[in-house]
Structure formats: C-alpha cells, structure tokens
Amino acid sequence: MSNQKKQIILNEITFWKQNKLLPEHYCDFLTTLYTEGGEQNEIQGKASQSVMAQQKRKTLRKYAAMPIIAIIFIVLLFTIDAVWLVGIVTAILAIGCLIAAFYVAKKNQLLSPILHLTGALLLLAVTVQISMTYFANNLTLLYVGLLLNCLLWFISGLALKIIYLTISGILGMLAIALYFFM
C-alpha cells in the first residue's frame, strides 16, 4: 500500500481516537497494523497535526459566519427608518456570495451551485427593490434592470460554463422582451 493511502487511513484512525468514535485500544491496534509495528509515533504525530488543522478550519468557518449574522440582525432591527440600508446590505451580501461562489467553485463542486443561485437571486431582489422603491412609476427602468440581470446571468453562464445560468439568462431576456413588446 502506498504511503499516501496509509497516511489517509492513519489520519482517520487518529480522528476516530480523538473523537472517541472507536475505543482507544482498537485505534492503537489499527495504527500498529497500518504502520506495521514501526514509525508509529512519527506517523501518529503527522496524523494528529492534520486532524488538528481540520478542526481549526471548522472553528474558523463557524466564527466567519458570525459577522454576517450580526449585520443581518442589525439591518432587520433598523429597517423601520433606513430602507436604503437594507438595499446596501443585501447588495453587499449578493456580491459577497458571487465572489465566494467563484472561489468555492474551484474547490467544492457541490456547494458552488447554491452560492451561484443565491448570489444571482439576491442581486435580482436588490434590483427589483431599488426599482420599486425609488422609481415606482417607471416600469421601463424595472424592465431594463431585469434585462441587465438576465444579461449578467447569461454572460456569467457562458464564462463559467454553467448551463443553468445561461439558460435562465436567455429565458429571462426572452420573457421580458415578449412582455415588454406585447
């Protein structure tokens, strides 16, 4: 068995031992088995360092979400007087989701579609909210904003090779054009 595969297995055994998923003597036996009786301390040290790094990343992710939750709470608390603040915070969240989607798409194929859709829908909601709040009597401006959103979806779909963004951009532009001209 290659060293890389052994290292992965030993990392898992160390994780099990630290989180008490298996009894300690089972984990010791498995570690001895995979290290073939030698190099146990050196490999276990590397494995425990790897597990500790994973745990640090998990706690960092937990704490990274706290400022976002605080901002949302503050916005919801003060929305009675400051309607424009909701639009700004939502726009910042939409842009943040889009940027995060680009970075996450490179590493995690399962989470990136959710981030793409969330960012696109938040940006759409901000466009509609701004148009309806500040330009309530001008529906042409609303249509232009919706067309720009659909155009952004189409271009993003082509650039990132995401079929659902491309299709939704095309269908959205067609629906708006048909509604506007009929």
Is residue 151 domain-shared with residue 101, that is, in the same domain? yes
Buried b (16+ CB within 10 A) or exposed e, 120-135: bebbbebbeebbeeee
> Is 161 inside a domain boundary?
yes
| 112 vs 119: CA distance, rounded Å | 11
Task: Tell me the per-residue pLDDT of 84-131, one tens digit each, with 9 for 90 and over.
Answer: 666 777 777 767 766 776 676 667 666 677 777 877 887 888 888 888
For residue 159, give the amino acid letter.
A
Per-residue pLDDT, 26: 81
> Is 70 inside a domain boundary?
no
Per-residue pLDDT, 179: 87
> Is 69 inside a domain boundary?
no
Per-residue pLDDT, 170: 94
> Residue 146: which domain range?
78-182
Q: In terms of residues, how long is the chain?
A: 182
pTM over 0.85: no
Contact 167, 154 (CB under 8 A): no
Is residue 59 domain-shared with residue 133, that is, in the same domain? no
Q: Which two tokens stand for residue 79?
A: 């929305």
| 92 vs 141: CA distance, rounded Å | 22
Give whole-number Cα distances, 56 to 62, 64, 69, 93, in Å: 10, 12, 21, 25
Number of domains present in the structure of the chain: 2
> Is 114 inside a domain boundary?
yes
Per-residue pLDDT, 142: 87
Per-residue pLDDT, 78: 60
**Who's near 44: CB < 8 A, 6+ residues apart?**
10, 14, 31
Residues of the chain with pLDDT under 70: 1, 38-86, 94, 97-98, 101-102, 104-106, 108-111
**Who's near 40: CB < 8 A, 6+ residues apart?**
31, 32
DSSP 13-82: HHHHHHTTSS-HHHHHHHHHHHHTTSSHHHHHHHHHHHHHHHHHHHHHHHHHHHHHHHHHHHHHHSTTT-
Per-residue pLDDT, 66: 61
Is residue 59 domain-shared with residue 82, that is, in the same domain? no
> Is 73 inside a domain boundary?
no
Helix (H, G, I), strand (E, B) or coil at 108: coil
Per-residue pLDDT, 150: 93
177 HSE (CA, 13 A, CB side): 9
Is residue 33 domain-shared with residue 95, that is, in the same domain? no
